[in-house]
Amino acid sequence: MFKIHYSEEALADLDNIWEYIAFKLKNPDAAINTVNGVMDAIDRMSEYPLSGTPLNVLIDIESDYRFVTYRNYLAYYHLGNNVVNIDRVLYKGQDCVKALFLE
């Protein structure tokens, strides 16, 4: 079983998702459900770390990144030594190349 590790950026992404849905969209219940849903999808990676989609399916780039989807959000991760490293959690319309490789 793999351990799940969230980067500081991924944790900030989850906070930002919650704040946007809870305050901007004024739907705190949906905010909780969305963040919990994303985290549940990520938690499944502890047992099936290779079940996420390779990033090169989305874009023509060679990388070790994979992603798992929950509704409109994608959690991008790479594998370490028995660790699933969650690097970012982004809205599907965000530029993942910029977020993963340029920021």
Give per-residue pLDDT as tens, 21-37.
999 999 999 999 999 99
57 CB-contact burial (10 Å; exposed 0-12 / middle 13-18 / buried 19+): exposed
Tell me the C-alpha distance between 94 and 99, whole Å. Answer: 8
CA nearest neighbour of 11 among 73, 89, 91 = 89
pTM here is 0.92
Q: Please report the pLDDT score of residue 43 as a whole number.
A: 97
Distances, alpha carbon 77 to alpha carbons 19, 82, 90, in Å = 23, 13, 11
- State both tokens at 39: 């985290």
3-state secondary structure of 75: strand
Whether 103 has a pLDDT exceeding 80, the answer reads no
- Mean pLDDT score, 63-87: 96
Tell me the C-alpha distance between 57 and 96, whole Å. Answer: 13
Q: Please report the pLDDT score of residue 38 as a whole number.
A: 98
